[in-house]
Structure formats: C-alpha cells, structure tokens
Amino acid sequence: MLKDIKRLIQKQSFAPGFLGLFVNPFYFARKGLHQHITAYAPLLRGRLLDVGCGSKPYLKYFKVSEYVGLEIEGRNKLAEKHYNGKDFPFGDGEFDSVLVSQVLEHVFNPQEFLAEVNRALKGGGLLLLTVPFIWDEHEQPFDCARYTTFGLRHLLEKQGFEIVDFKKSMADIRVIFQMVNSYIYKKTHTDNTALNLLFTLVVIAPVNLLGEFSACILPGNDDLYLDNIVLARKK
C-alpha cells in the first residue's frame, strides 16, 4: 500500500496533472516547467546532453538519437558521464542539443559553465535552459543565484548564444500560492510518507485549488514569475 502511494506521488512529481493538484506541494512550479519543456522538446534533435540530469525526469519527451546525462562527480548513478564541476569530459562540438534544467542557480562560475556548454555544442546547436527567478534557498550550500530576464540574456549572449525564444512560467498570482505551499512543505515535511500525503491533501491541496481559481480571475504580472525558460542557439 505504502509503495503504491509513493509511486503515485512520484508520477505526479515532474508532470503533474489534475491529481497533482492534491498531492504535489510544488504543483505550480513543476506544471509550468513541464508545459514549457515539453513544448520545446521536439525542436531538440540529434545527440543531446542533459547537464545536471538528476533523475532524467524529461527523458521521454526528447526524441533524439542519443541522450547523455552529465552530473558532478560522486552524484547520480543514472548519469552516463561525470565531471569535476569545471570541464565537461567531451570534445568540441560533440552535441546537437543541450538541456540545462534548474541547474544554473547552483553554479558559482556561470560564465565558465556556459562557455563549456557552448563548446560542447555544434555550431547552430540548440540550448534549452530553465532557471528560477523566484524560489527559496535549497540544496544548501550549493545555491548561488536567481536570474532576471535581463541578466540571463546578458550571460548567454556574452558566451556566444543568440536567444531564439524566452518564456516566463506562472507569471501571475500563482507565484504567491506556490511560495506559500513551499513554506508550508519545508516547515512540516516529515519522513512519514502517509502523514505527508494526509497533510498535503488537507492543507496544501486547498492552496493549489485556490491558486488555480485566483489565476482565472486576476490579471497576470510579467514582472513576477517562477522560472525563466530560454531556447538559445550557438552562433
């Protein structure tokens, strides 16, 4: 029974549907990322590098010839390759596409990091990048920055990329509701899966529902949003 509950929650973690409203404390953040990443996924072709791949939650959406996961040394057995946090273990122009999702905020040397991403890409290759604008500190002490649209454009263009498209996720009142739920989750989360689920159903789910309703009747705000989603091309 408990294993079934865990599987149910896991399915709603990165691709939350209607059920995610009731079981995912990060519903709005994950919903926004999923919508944008799956929309851009068909544009990425050939050999793809997923930098900071984690559990590869978006793997199935990329119909590419090869999907290579890269992680920091000592982390994540799902990654095909590991690196020292500075130099990617690849030659120049080995990849047609690169995915960097929710990683750049943890990078303390962003210019050098993006230079390596650019080096690994073939000329004209595409980079799909997501990074938070608003989020609490997490994975401390490996949390470095939050990015505005202007700062992110500057960084990418300086490292040899041209912006193809730029989106903002949840640019409306749902930002506030997500922050409320993130706060509640951080202050109440336990090691008991059943207790966590019960609390989510009773306390967090109503906040999600109210957030969705509020977004339907209140205006958006392009200056306040959760995440940046950028499609860029190597010049």
Average pLDDT over residues 43-59: 97
pLDDT value at residue 34: 98
* The token pair that represents 208 in the structure block: 């999600």
CATH class of this structure's domain 2-234: alpha beta
Instruction: Using the CB atoms, write b or e for 172-191: b if 16+ within 10 Å.
Output: bbbbbbbbebbebbeeeeee
Instruction: List the chain domain ranges.
Output: 2-234
- pTM recorded for the entire structure: 0.94
7-50 pLDDT, tens per residue? 878 889 999 999 999 999 999 999 999 999 999 999 999 999 99
pLDDT value at residue 78: 87
How many angstroms separate the first and last alpha carbons of the chain? 53
How far apart are alpha carbons 70 and 233 in whole angstroms? 20
How far apart are alpha carbons 151 and 99 in whole angstroms? 19
Mean pLDDT of the chain: 95
Alpha-carbon Rg for the chain in angstroms: 18
Q: What percent of the chain has pLDDT over 90?
A: 89
How far apart are alpha carbons 138 and 4 in whole angstroms? 28
Q: Coil, strand or helix: which one is 37? A: helix
pLDDT value at residue 149: 97
pLDDT value at residue 1: 64
73-116 pLDDT, tens per residue? 877 778 999 999 889 999 999 999 999 999 999 999 999 999 99
How far apart are alpha carbons 95 and 225 in whole angstroms? 31
150-177 pLDDT, tens per residue? 999 999 999 999 999 999 999 999 999 9
Task: Give 131's pLDDT tier (boundaries 50, 70, 90).
Answer: very high
pLDDT value at residue 2: 65
